[in-house]
């Protein structure tokens, strides 16, 4: 099965591995699985049909919070944000540029009536993996929430927010134009000109070398890059991380606040999220942004939130899932911030 594209790969034996298999290889694959004693469920006989339906629902002409938007529409929205509302002020800045010359945007959001300062900051990034469309969609809803919703008053009272909705613009565009399941960025390999892209979440300079859930093969979908921080996108996120306050780490606070967030999510509509170490809940991986942020950038609380789906639709997730996913995570973030304030008296 080495030649099949793995959509999702988990190391834990009880987790699900999803494969996208060419139609002419389905029968032989089923035989191999049966021979190996591996149970399987055929989720769809036509993945392309699901992709086509999803693409038809993309909002290409008007930016919408309840639709997947093209990069150009996201860009227009982000560039319209500068200024102050009744709750918060915001400024959109460019923190980098991709190999295909697309800007990487970050939105700074702070309390109206105050100035950007060295107040405690929460950095949020989305879209590091191109095919995970739900990630930018949720982050964009979060920006709108911070700017316009009275329920966000406490969030901007306690912190200033730096938000990167689409860290991987080139890959995101490529998933709209060419390959819906593309994961990496689009930089051409200098080793093999037929290979494109680096997995940005394997390109950070923390335990980059052990090759856990990563590859040194430029054609692999988890290619770590030729060196740490070889990619403009990972450099942009690194530099944003290094702007943050440097605070002492505390695992108990991390765990407690994560559990407060998952409890709030469950209380919303009984959607169950788990809290714990990423290497245990998901899989161990080298060169990740979350580990770098915690270990090197000295960010006190470093979280990874895995959004819907949970193995039924994979990355081809209906736009109808955007608002429910956003709303449950909104409640989780509010609870998380409340916990952080209580634990650390971070109000400045």
208 in a structural domain: no
Backbone angles phi, psi at 239, to 5 degrees: -65, -35
Q: Which domain holds residue 98?
A: 54-173+234-344
Number of domains in the chain: 2
Report whether pLDDT(99) > 60: yes
**62 and 117 within one domain:** yes
Q: For residue 186, what pLDDT is reported?
A: 98
Report whether pLDDT(167) > 60: yes
**3 and 118 within one domain:** no
Report whether pLDDT(251) > 50: no
**95 and 19 within one domain:** no
**152 and 20 within one domain:** no
- pTM of this prediction? 0.80
Bigger pLDDT: 258 vs 218: 218
Lowest mean pLDDT among 5-14, 27-36, 49-58, 205-214: 5-14
Bigger pLDDT: 295 vs 34: 34
Mark whether 100 is an active-site residue: no
Residue among 11, 76, 100, 306 flagged as catalytic? 306
Report whether pLDDT(213) > 90: no
pLDDT digits (tens, 9 = 90+) for 125-159: 999 999 999 999 999 999 999 999 999 998 998 88
**330 and 248 within one domain:** yes
Percentage of residues of the chain with pLDDT beyond 70: 74
pLDDT digits (tens, 9 = 90+) for 274-294: 544 444 445 557 778 877 876
276 in a structural domain: yes
**25 and 141 within one domain:** no
Q: What is the CATH number of the domain that holds 161?
A: 3.40.630.10
Q: What is the DSSP letter of 151?
A: G
Q: For residue 345, what pLDDT is reported?
A: 60
Q: For residue 60, what pLDDT is reported?
A: 66
201 in a structural domain: no
Q: For residue 239, what pLDDT is reported?
A: 92
CA–CA gap between residue 122 and residue 98 (Å, rounded) = 24
197 in a structural domain: no
**61 and 35 within one domain:** no
11 in a structural domain: yes
Beta strands in the chain (DSSP E): 5-8, 18-20, 83-84, 88-97, 103-111, 121-125, 160-164
> Please, what is the angle between helix 251-269 and helix 322-344, to 10°?
140
204 in a structural domain: no
Bigger pLDDT: 267 vs 168: 168
CA–CA gap between residue 47 and residue 315 (Å, rounded) = 11
Give the length of the chain. 348
At 252, is the pLDDT very low, low, confident or very high (cuts 50, 70, 90)? very low
Lowest mean pLDDT among 39-53, 126-140, 184-198: 39-53
210 in a structural domain: no
**303 and 249 within one domain:** yes
CA–CA gap between residue 109 and residue 146 (Å, rounded) = 8
Question: Alpha carbon of 236 to those of 33, 126, 139, 197, 334: distances in Å?
Answer: 42, 13, 18, 16, 27
Nearest to 93, CA basis, from 85, 84, 83, 82: 82
Residue 109: partners with Cβ closer than 8 Å, 6 or more residues away: 88, 89, 90, 143, 146, 147, 156, 160, 161, 162, 163
């Amino acid at each position: 099965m080495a030649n099949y594209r793995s959509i999702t790969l988990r190391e834990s034996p009880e987790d699900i591995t999803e494969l996208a298999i060419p139609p002419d290889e389905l029968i032989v694959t089923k035989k191999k699985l049966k021979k190996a004693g591996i149970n399987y469920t055929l989720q769809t006989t036509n993945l392309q049909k699901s992709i086509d339906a999803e693409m038809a629902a993309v909002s290409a002409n008007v930016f919408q919070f309840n639709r997947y938007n093209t990069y150009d529409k996201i860009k227009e929205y982000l560039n319209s944000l500068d200024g102050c509302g009744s709750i918060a002020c915001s400024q959109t800045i460019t923190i980098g540029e991709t190999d295909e010359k697309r800007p990487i945007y970050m939105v700074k959001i702070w309390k109206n009536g105050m100035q950007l300062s060295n107040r405690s900051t929460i950095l949020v990034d989305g879209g590091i993996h191109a095919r995970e469309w739900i990630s930018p969609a949720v982050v964009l809803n979060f920006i709108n929430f911070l700017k316009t919703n009275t329920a966000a008053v406490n969030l901007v009272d306690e912190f200033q927010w730096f938000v990167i909705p689409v860290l991987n613009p080139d890959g995101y565009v490529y998933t709209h134009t060419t390959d819906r399941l593309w994961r990496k960025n689009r930089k051409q390999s200098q080793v093999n000109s037929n290979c494109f892209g680096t997995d940005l979440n394997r390109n950070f300079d923390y335990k980059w070398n052990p090759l856990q859930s990563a590859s040194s093969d430029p054609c692999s979908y988890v290619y770590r890059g030729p060196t740490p921080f070889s990619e403009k996108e990972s450099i942009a996120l690194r530099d944003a991380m290094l702007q943050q306050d440097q605070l002492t780490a505390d695992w108990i606070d991390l765990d407690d606040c994560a559990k407060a967030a998952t409890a709030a999510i469950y209380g919303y509509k009984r959607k169950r999220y788990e809290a714990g170490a990423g290497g245990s809940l998901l899989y161990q991986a080298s060169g990740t942004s979350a580990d770098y942020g915690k270990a090197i950038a000295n960010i006190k609380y470093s979280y990874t939130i895995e959004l819907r789906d949970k193995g039924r639709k994979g990355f081809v997730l209906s736009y109808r899932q955007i608002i429910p996913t956003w709303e449950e995570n909104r409640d989780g973030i509010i609870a998380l911030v409340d916990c952080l304030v209580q634990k650390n008296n971070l109000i400045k």
